Amino acid sequence: MPDNEEIIRLEEVFKIFGPQPRGRAFDLAKAGVHKNEVQKQSGHVVGLSDVSFSVKKGEIFVVMGLSGSGKSTAIRTVNKLHDVTSGQVLVDGVDVQQLEGKELQAFRREKMGMVFQHFALFPHRNVIDNVSYGLKVQKVNRSERDAAAMRALQLVGLQPYADNVPSQLSGGMQQRVGLARALASDPDILLMDEAFSALDPLIRRQMQDELMAIQSEVHKTILFITHDLNEALRIGDRVCIMKDGVVVQIGTPEEILTQPATGYVAEFVQDVDQGRVIKVEEVMVPAEPIHIETAFDQALAALNESAERLVVDDSGKCVGLLTRSDLERVAKQGTQSLQSAVRTDVPVADPSQTLNELYAEAGRGLPIACCDENGLLIGRIDPTAVLEELGRVEALSDAFEREVYM
């Protein structure tokens, strides 16, 4: 099937909340009146106003907007958790609004998996049973559903935890169980509503990376909702920006960044340009430091795994950086002293700093220590991560400048 085939389409969809959704509020919304004004005049809330977009098979389509802009309402029309006031929702050629009862249930189960910000895992069931639950409901036999669940767990890297219960897993891991559950029935479509929004920035980025890696294996169609523009630009093949119930712009991340359709979008992307809003805490990874009093040969062994390690003292403060070459040099001199091998000129960053501030430091090629206000080591940043992240943004702004000035 051609890649350009669309699998989800919303066409001129309106959704009005209130006792008389097709009354005056609808007329006002149709006339293009802003949702605040509609609310003032009619007491009804405009969820969606003339929303049209189509999602192509195999793409990650991200709907991005501030809270209340209609993102959840939009995704909920796709699985008919919401009826629409007017307009059409097509999924794989099927007019979703026409589905009822068992037919609707079966359609949801077979066609789509859903992951939400806060979804409930069954606390007393183990991970594999949580993942295979949907298949159990579909009366798939035990061995088949266990096999499917294990495949899904493997995709999200949680195979070793199949027999654990959810409370034994971290928040990020629980969210991966949710993703595995959605993948278990091998649906064509994944609906993800703020699926990563409750996670710490660090875990969140890992999840974004993982989702992209999984996607390159499974080639689903993913409708992904977020209020975070960075997340949208990072994972989206195309991004749809919503505001107050209407679609403001649809485009590739490049188009959104370089040709913002309105002042609203421009304002949003202004911060992204130059890597200004990418925070250190979003790129930092666990520091995995070694202690300053580690035995020399242990330190040497540790440095066989990675070329350099940050060094902490008893209180967890970062006291320097140890590189394999420094350690080997000291060993050759026959001193076997860790202290004399540690360099103290380590670049240090604050987690709330932004990446572009680290550009010069990153250029030195040394890992950057991320410390809190008391000097305690809380993470590290690899210089390549900074350069990669800024490189991506720079490539976009370069393209923009070429377009504008040449």
One of 6, 9, 12, 17 touching ligand ADP (CB under 6 A) = 17
User: Quick check: helix, strand or coil at residue 149?
Assistant: helix
Cα(23)–Cα(5) distance, rounded to whole angstroms? 36
The minimum distance between CB 224 and ligand ADP, in angstroms, equals 13
Q: Beta 6-17 vs 86-91: how paired, if at all?
A: antiparallel
Q: For the chain, state the CA radius of gyration.
A: 25
Phi, psi of 355, deg, nearest 5: -60, -35
Judged by CB under 5 A, which stretch of 49-57, 70-78, 82-90, 105-113 contacts Mg ion?
A: 70-78
CB burial string 91-114: b at 16+ within 10 A, e below: bbeeebbebeeeeeeebbeebbbb
Contacting ligand ADP (CB under 6 A), which of 73, 130, 226, 258? 73
73 binds Mg ion, rule: CB under 5 A: no
Among positions 42, 69, 72, 174, the unique one binding Mg ion when judged by CB under 5 A:
72
The partner in contact with residue 378, picked from Mg ion, ligand ADP, none with C-beta cut-offs of 5 to 8 angstroms by kind, is: none
> CA-based angle 313:317:323, to the nearest 5?
70
**Dihedral through CA 314, CA 316, CA 321, CA 326, nearest 10?**
20
C-beta closer to Mg ion: residue 57 or 76: 76
Among ligand ADP, Mg ion, none, partner that 309 touches (CB below 5 to 8 angstroms by kind): none
Q: Which stretch binds Mg ion (CB under 5 A): 69-77, 257-265, 361-369, 374-382?
A: 69-77
Which helix (H) or strand (E) is 120 found in, with range? none
Is position 72 an interface residue for ligand ADP (rule: CB under 6 A)?
Answer: yes
Q: Which stretch in 72-80, 173-181, 324-332, 392-400 sits in contact with Mg ion by CB under 5 A? A: 72-80
Report the nearest approach of Mg ion to the CB of residue 64 (Å). Answer: 11
Buried b (16+ CB within 10 A) or exposed e, 174-194: bbbbbbbbbbbbebbbbbbbb
Quick one: what does residue 304 bind among Mg ion, ligand ADP, none, with the CB cut-off 5 to 8 Å set by partner type? none
Give yes or no for residue 264 binding ligand ADP (CB under 6 A): no
Q: Among 45, 198, 285, 302, which residue sits at the site for ligand ADP (rule: CB under 6 A)? A: 45
Assigned token pair, 58: 């195999």
Give dist(CA 166, CA 130) in Å, integer. 9
Judged by the rule CB under 6 A, the positions of this chain that interact with ligand ADP are: 17, 45, 47, 65, 67-73
Judged by the rule CB under 5 A, the positions of this chain that interact with Mg ion are: 72
